[in-house]
Structure 1
Amino acid sequence: MANYRRTLVIGDIHGGLKALKQLLDKAKVNHNDLLIFLGDYVDGWSDSAEVISFLIELKADYQCRFIRGNHDALVNNWLKTGDANDKWMEHGGQSTKDAYRNIDKSTRELHIQFMDNLENYIIDSQNRLFLHAGFANLHGPDYEFHKHMVYWDRTLWEMVKCMDSNLSTEDEFYPDRLKLFKEIYIGHTPTTRIGENKPVNFQNVWNIDTGAAFKGSLSMMDIETKEVWQSDPVYKLYPDEDGRN
């Protein structure tokens, strides 16, 4: 990922297209930037289908890479099979079903193609890992027996948030899986759950999900400078909706 003006990583959108547009404007994103989206584009606010269409258009004009989130996998499965399990419906699925109510078949097919081509994770030239959730295997995400773990796992985040901040990489108790990468960027678990409304760093892990699906903002970070841009709290942009609250 060389020769970019900035590498910008974006947290979980969850149907909040208004927040995404606001964020791109605030950060003055241009064609020399690389945008890495950490997944969960759908399930939450009413613009889930419109978010996917917007990302497809964005990719045509900007340098983008898109990671698969657990909600994206669930929606892709529903679009293909019609399977709407109860758990998905309870966690934003109904809003997505509603968003696709008037979406024509050809557009649905484009969305399926987009979601089929999402990446499970990215490792850049500086050995930085980008993925939606985490990984448990001590040898890294490529060794996970169940490939879906990278967009469902919470153990990586649970581990680092409990670690002694003074623990060095040379310490015998330092987790081996953290030594595999220079930095790790994730979403999936809102930082608002620990009372933080901005991206949070523990050890070499950065969590960029700042609760856009709930009462938080959508966030973007420059991975070199660590500068952060945030939308308004997304619920304020959709005042007549409940999102996933």
Structure 2
Amino acid sequence: MRTLVIGDIHGGLRALHQIMERAKVTEKDKLIFLGDYVDGWSQSPQVLDYLIELNAKNDCIFIRGNHDELLLHWLKDNKDNALWYNHGGEATVIAYENVSDENKQIHIEFLQSLHDYYLDDHQRLFIHAGFTNMNGVNFEYFPKLFYWDRTLWETALALDMNINSNDLSYPKRLLLYHEIYIGHTPVTRINKTIPVKKACIWNVDTGAAFKGPLTIMDIDTKEFWQSEPLNNLYFEEKGRN
């Protein structure tokens, strides 16, 4: 059995199909999704349908992303958010015009079931964005940071590689877990399109919301498979600008 981690999908069902095929995923594989299943490309409802169906066949862990939480508020409370609308939400709102009320309720239940994080038996943490508490996720005062924080990744990026982990100035958050897998902040911001490791953190968001590919990675071997860039798969759409 493999354990495979999947980066931010952002409504790109075509890319999701590609990576599942390219990684030759079977029902024996455990799948950990890092969140942001929706917003950006046109198939957010279909992505949720696919994940719900997949959960019936595979051992799946679904982490909550900030875009998933924003969609939940819109579906459940009809809560408009102009910032969300301009950052991928518009495509989702349009896509849901053709979704029945019954199916919307199924999606609400799925979105409500998402996990803030997942910690396995090997001290490997899977979380959408990050955390700020120096004692770890179990002590976080503000759970929304699990899917909004960028400081954990920024700290790892800015870390002086000459500093030893035993040094008193070494960031404590980077010593708590054997590995941390995140999405949320695309590595395309540092001109990369493959998973990037900084300190103990693996960033698997390879920019599928924009012009990057979607990625699935084996957490034990670090082998990974990618889709075509999403702007090629959805050439007729603008995606997230």
| Superposed pair shares fold, TM > 0.5 | yes
Deviates more, 1:157-166 or 1:51-60: 157-166
> Aligned partners of 2:228 and 2:129: how far apart in 1?
24
Identity %: 54
**2:160 is equivalent to residue 168 of structure 1:** no
**AA at the equivalent of 1:64:** C
Tell me which residue corresponds to 1:65. Answer: 61
- Between 1:159-168 and 1:187-196, the stretch displaced more is 159-168
Deviates more, 1:193-202 or 1:138-147: 138-147
State yes or no: 1:40 paired with 2:60: no
CA distance in 1, matches of 2:145, 2:176: 17
1:228 to 212, 224, 237: 224
TM-fit CA distance, 1:166: 3.1
Asked whether 1:6 is paired with 2:6, we answer no
Quote the Cα distance in structure 2 between the aligned partners of 1:108 and 1:119.
20
C-alpha deviation, 1:143, in angstroms: 1.5
**Counterpart Cα distance in 2 of 1:232 and 1:63:** 26
Match of 2:154 in 1: 158
Mapping 1:83-122, distance limit 5 Å: 83-122=79-118
TM-score (norm 2): 0.99
Give the length in aligned residue pairs: 241
Report how far residue 164 of structure 1 moved: 1.5
> Residue 140 of structure 2: which of 130, 138, 144 is its match?
144
| TM-score, length of structure 1 as denominator length | 0.97
How far off is 1:84 after superposition? 1.5
| SS of residue paired to 2:71 | helix
Alpha-carbon distance in 2 for matches of 1:193, 1:185? 17
1:90-129 deviation line (CA, Å, top 9, x unaligned) = 1011100011101001100000000000000000000100
* Equivalent residue in structure 1 for 2:194, among 171, 191, 198: 198
The C-alpha deviation readout for 1:195-238, integer Å capped at 9, x for no partner, is 00101000000000000000000011111110010000011111
1:172 positional shift = 1.4
Root-mean-square deviation (CA, aligned residues, Å) is: 0.7
Could you tell me which amino acid in structure 1 is paired with residue 146 of structure 2? V
Specify the code of the residue in structure 2 equivalent to 1:232.
E
Gaps of 5+ in 1: none
Structure 1 counterpart of 2:200, one-letter code? N
Q: Whole-Å Cα distance in 2 between the matches of residues 109 and 234 of structure 1?
A: 28
The secondary structure found in structure 2 opposite 1:74 is helix
Displacement after TM superposition at 1:167 (Å): 2.4
CA distance in 2, matches of 1:189, 1:61: 30
Helix, strand or coil: the match of 1:44?
coil
How many Å apart are 1:20 and its aligned residue? Answer: 0.3
C-alpha distance in 2 between matches for 1:20 and 1:33: 15
Pairwise CA distance, 1:73 = 0.2
1: CA distance, partners of 2:29 / 2:14: 21
Are the counterparts in 2 of residues 217 and 234 from structure 1 also a CA contact under 8 Å? yes
